[in-house]
Structure 1
């Protein structure tokens, strides 16, 4: 396995580190039925949040390095679209999802003393995040398809 193969392997591992938590954590959060389960789910989310951050850095570095080695630069349309979709996804996560999640975590931590019942406000806030999370997941799938298929 040469340098190109190693970089490609690391690039794929980094994409798994990003995609895995993005698909699993919303399912775990939505399945919680008590405040304790929600605290556990959000605690696990906080611990797993490092994976996409490290994966994102590795993904960018290996992607740029692969572009240099393959001498394709930004000449491929599939690559340009992938980069654009990736930037859109980052904005969605950082601007729309993260601030709302912080508000939800605050509500859950405040309601921990009030029993095991999940506050009604939680359901309303989660319903607002679900479409944004779904859109981010669809973008991830689109980026993955573009990277694998390289259609244009």
Structure 2
């Protein structure tokens, strides 16, 4: 396996690390039924949040490496659109979802009723994030499709 093959394998693995937690986190979070369970779940998902950051960094490095090796640069429209959508996705996750999740985690950690049902206020805070998470997931699917199909 040459340098191209190695970079391609690392690029694919990095994309899994980058994308995987974003799809799994909302499912894990929805499984919580009590404040204690929600606190536990948010702790797990906070730890999972490092994977997209590492994966994203490796994704950029390997992507640039692949662009250099293939001498493609930014000449392909599908690549430019993919990069633009990925940047938008990062803005949604790091700029909109993550700060709100930190606020929810802080509120949950301050809650004294660890065994009781999740209060309506926490449910409302979480429900506000759901549409933005869905948009980020759709952007991820679009980027994956563009990377695999290379339509234009």
- TM-score, normalization: structure 2? 0.96
Q: 1:30-87: CA deviations, max 9, x gaps?
A: 1210111111111111111111111000000000000000000000000000000011
The match for 1:54 is 54
Tell me by how many angstroms 1:114 deviates. Answer: 6.0
The number of aligned residues is 152
Q: Is the partner of 1:98 in helix, strand or coil?
A: helix
Stretches of structure 1 that go unaligned for 5 or more consecutive residues are: none
Tell me by how many angstroms 1:94 deviates. Answer: 1.4
The match for 2:138 is 138
Stretches of structure 2 that go unaligned for 5 or more consecutive residues are: none
Preserved contact between residue 36 and residue 112 of structure 1 (Cα < 8 Å): no
Q: Is the partner of 1:125 in helix, strand or coil?
A: helix
Provide the rounded CA distance (Å) in 2 between the counterparts of 1:95 and 1:101. Answer: 11
RMSD of aligned C-alpha atoms?
A: 1.1
Distance 1:85 1:145, change over 3 A: same
The match for 1:83 is 83
- TM-score, normalization: structure 1? 0.96
Higher mean C-alpha displacement, 140-149 vs 38-47: 38-47
Tell me by how many angstroms 1:112 deviates. Answer: 3.6
Preserved contact between residue 18 and residue 55 of structure 1 (Cα < 8 Å): yes
Q: Name segments (4+ residues, structure 1) moved above 3 Å.
A: 112-115
The match for 1:92 is 92
